[in-house]
Structure 1
Amino acid sequence: MAPTTGDDMILSIDDIKKAASVKLPSIVREFYNAGSTNQITVTENTTAYSKYRLRPRVLVDVSKADMTTTLFGQRIDFPLCVSPAGIQAMAHPDGELATSRACAKRQVHMGISSFSNYSVEDVRAAGLEVGPIHHTMQLYSMQDREAQLRIIKRAENAGCAAIFLTADSPVLGVRYNEYRNDFRTSEGLGFPMLEKTSDAIRAQTHDDGFTAVNSDSHSWAKEIPWLRSVTKMQIWIKGVLTAEDVQLAIKYGCDGVIVSNHGGRQLDETSPTIDALPECTRAAKGKIRIHIDGGIRNGTDIFKALALGAECVWIGRPMIWGLAYDGEAGVTKTLDILYEEFKRCMQLCGCNTIADITPASLGIIRRDGPLARL
């Protein structure tokens, strides 16, 4: 057998990350990969998955295993979607357009960041050229309500299914690498949804630019009723880590929450999202949809998140690495790797449908030795 070379050697998300790292300038690589302050949360988001162990069932016919699920009224290939990550054109010139096309090809949904380098209209069109796909529009609470409303209306008119309100960012997290590198968005890249040109963006640090736009006086009572009054899109809260906030999301009539710590980029030393998930799932009591992002690096992680109560997972950095590695083809490769790993994990655990994945599928490592069932 001939030795494998090139793309044939890209077998895992870690391979994608390594290939991307070679191509990205150090300042850009650190912007994408780093977390806040001491990097504890950004690291533990991934490592926390390893304490959960699989409990496979054997002699199960899994020849017709079905990974599909329904989200926003549309069937998707497997319970994974792509998170609204900003400034994707620093990873590859096609940025969010390439990501949208790859998502449509793999038949999963995509979130669009307010800091997208392409407009919601163009990102939507790029995906729909390939196949049916839903998009969500990520939104911050903004000082300029009229500008915020323009984003919402553009997203709604473009056909977005939901608003993802980022709730964990009244201020930007402390990111040492951005200060040390004097990080600024690469020249020539604008933020069309925020109506900002490249020159205007580069005239400020990333922190100052965020502070100039974002409102730190947001609240449940202010944001959710206002959003309900101006849009018919679903309203999801991104950045929830506690039962208390899940209960508030239910109280204010939100459609779903994303259990998220902003990829470890906001407040360091918060709980890894996979560890916060069970508390949030219990608090939901089936009254609100629960999704998760943060630290997912293989198909087994997806399986574990579903076993702990998530309906769907969202990925950010793996998609960015795929984009940097090889544009649309790189994102497609990333999604295909995760799809195949998840499928095999389901089959090897004796699960034929998403409904078969339950807490009984997992145990947790105990210091005294025996695996503890959940």
Structure 2
Amino acid sequence: MAGGAPGPIPISDPHETILSIADLEKAASKKMSKTAGEFYNSGSQDQTTIRENSTAFSRYRLRPRVLVDVSGVDTSTSVFGREISFPLSVSPAGLQAMAHPDGELATSRACAKRGVNMAISSYSNYSIQAVRSAGTSIGCFSHAIQLYTMKDREMQERIIRTAEAEGCSAIFLTADSPVLGVRYNEWRNDFRTPEGLEFPILEKTTEDIRRQTHDGTFVGFNDDSHNWDREISWLRSITKMQIWIKGVLTAEDTELAVKHGCDGIIVSNHGGRQLDGVLATLDALPECVEAAQGRIRVHVDGGFRSGTDMFKALALGAECCWVGRPAIWGLAYDGEAGVNLMLETMHNEFRRCMQLTGCKTVNDITKASLARIDADGRPKRL
């Protein structure tokens, strides 16, 4: 069919059709418990940032070019020195086995089949070895290992050594979490990781975890005395993996990442789960890109719910977009097949957006493709 229309997607319920990420979220919510759904989907405090992560995209309009031959459109790009099929990858979301028993294993397999990258959370319910093996048994692609700064430096080093030995390409040092955000739903629900799930990367059994709330577990291992000089120099001394800073929202911290020789930053507000009221990641992206001046790679996560959202972020200067909750919804809906459905949906929409705006390659996506709606409601070219 002209334009590369997606074909019908088999689903378990013949009366249920998943055509968008919104459809997927709705279908997934039917399969998750209230407690699990609130853990995955809620942000901190008044939920302002989590809402604005998605609504920020509505402040931009597309400026399509017409009569362009887009029959051979190419959605691929390069991340971590390896080509991926389109500029999207799966963020380091924890506790994936609470959404589906296969958890991170299913996500890894889906990413490998789709040809995109995945970051492994410190809170993974499966080991680095197991997650890497699940994906690399299918095809070559890259994993990053997400880390917090830890009080137990020996354990942190063990995690890094294991990740490097298993072939992970990068460390995503989560820098926005000296403490956890004010998460009312977790506190009201006395949220604890379900019985039977473990955190093997953090060397915690289900018995260890169940003794404490999620917040209590975090306070127990995380080091809130972290700082730029100490963390980056220490990481450089023990690993050759790329070092990325996850949680950057300002030009000032972008400059510090450059100063300390980091390989990249992820413009992120932790999915709205940390400090409520910070900038939406799409709104923070332009100042970080401007500060980077091409000296450091810039990725972004937070609020992506369509391929058009991805297009807008790339037009603002991001190299790659990352998604967390959509992968969780895919898992909850149908395990590996659900994650694959999410990735396929995002890819189809992104490809179609490129074609309809007259972009033949990812490099053709620039500020010229966007206008911003000003306070007076009028569009203004960037």
- In the superposition, the TM-score normalised over structure 2's length comes to 0.96
Aligned match for 2:292, one of 281, 284, 309: 284
Q: Distance in 2 between matches of 1:30 and 1:82?
A: 20
**Does residue 260 of the first structure (1) align with residue 268 of the second (2)?**
yes
Q: Which residue of 1 aligns with 2:367?
A: 359
Q: Which residue of 1 aligns with 2:204?
A: 196
Shift of 1:367: 3.9
| Match runs of 1:179-328 below 5 Å | 179-328=187-336
**Does residue 80 of the first structure (1) align with residue 88 of the second (2)?**
yes
Amino acid at match of 2:311: F
Deviations 1:257-277 (A, max 9, x none): 000000000000000000000
SS of 1:269's equivalent in the other structure is: coil
Shift of 1:8: 6.6
| Match runs of 1:81-230 below 5 Å | 81-230=89-238
Shift of 1:130: 1.1
Q: Which residue of 1 aligns with 2:4?
A: none
Change (3 A) 1:248 1:229: same
Shift of 1:188: 0.2
**Does residue 61 of the first structure (1) align with residue 66 of the second (2)?**
no
Amino acid at match of 2:45: T
Q: Distance in 1 between matches of 2:291 and 2:333?
A: 40
Change (3 A) 1:369 1:143: closer
Q: Which residue of 2 aligns with 1:46?
A: 54
SS of 1:254's equivalent in the other structure is: coil
Q: Which residue of 2 aligns with 1:25?
A: 33
Q: Which residue of 1 aligns with 2:22?
A: 14
Shift of 1:214: 0.2
Q: Which residue of 1 aligns with 2:3?
A: none
Deviations 1:209-250 (A, max 9, x none): 000000000000110000000100000000000000000000
SS of 1:253's equivalent in the other structure is: coil
SS of 1:165's equivalent in the other structure is: strand
Q: Which residue of 1 aligns with 2:5?
A: none
The runs of 5 or more residues in structure 2 that have no matched partner are: 1-7
Shift of 1:369: 4.3
Q: Distance in 2 between matches of 1:367 and 1:245?
A: 28
SS of 1:190's equivalent in the other structure is: coil
Shift of 1:72: 1.2
Amino acid at match of 1:116: S
Q: Distance in 2 between matches of 1:209 and 1:81?
A: 28
SS of 1:23's equivalent in the other structure is: coil
SS of 2:202's equivalent in the other structure is: coil
Q: Distance in 1 between matches of 2:313 and 2:225?
A: 33
Q: Distance in 2 between matches of 1:42 and 1:199?
A: 32
Q: Distance in 2 between matches of 1:322 and 1:51?
A: 27
Amino acid at match of 1:305: A
Shift of 1:6: 3.2
Deviations 1:67-121 (A, max 9, x none): 0001111111000010011010000000000000000000000000000000000
Q: Distance in 1 between matches of 2:325 and 2:50?
A: 11
Amino acid at match of 2:92: P
Amino acid at match of 2:89: C
Q: Distance in 2 between matches of 1:294 and 1:367?
A: 23
The runs of 5 or more residues in structure 1 that have no matched partner are: none
Q: Distance in 2 between matches of 1:185 and 1:163?
A: 25
- The number of aligned residues is 372
The ranges of structure 1 where at least 4 consecutive aligned residues each deviate by more than 4 angstroms after the TM superposition are none
Overall identity of the aligned pairs, in %: 67
Deviations 1:45-74 (A, max 9, x none): 001101100001111110001000011111
Q: Distance in 1 between matches of 2:95 and 2:237?
A: 30
SS of 2:168's equivalent in the other structure is: coil
Q: Which residue of 2 aligns with 1:340?
A: 348
Q: Distance in 2 between matches of 1:261 and 1:334?
A: 22
Q: Distance in 1 between matches of 2:377 and 2:191?
A: 47
Amino acid at match of 1:58: V
Shift of 1:7: 8.0
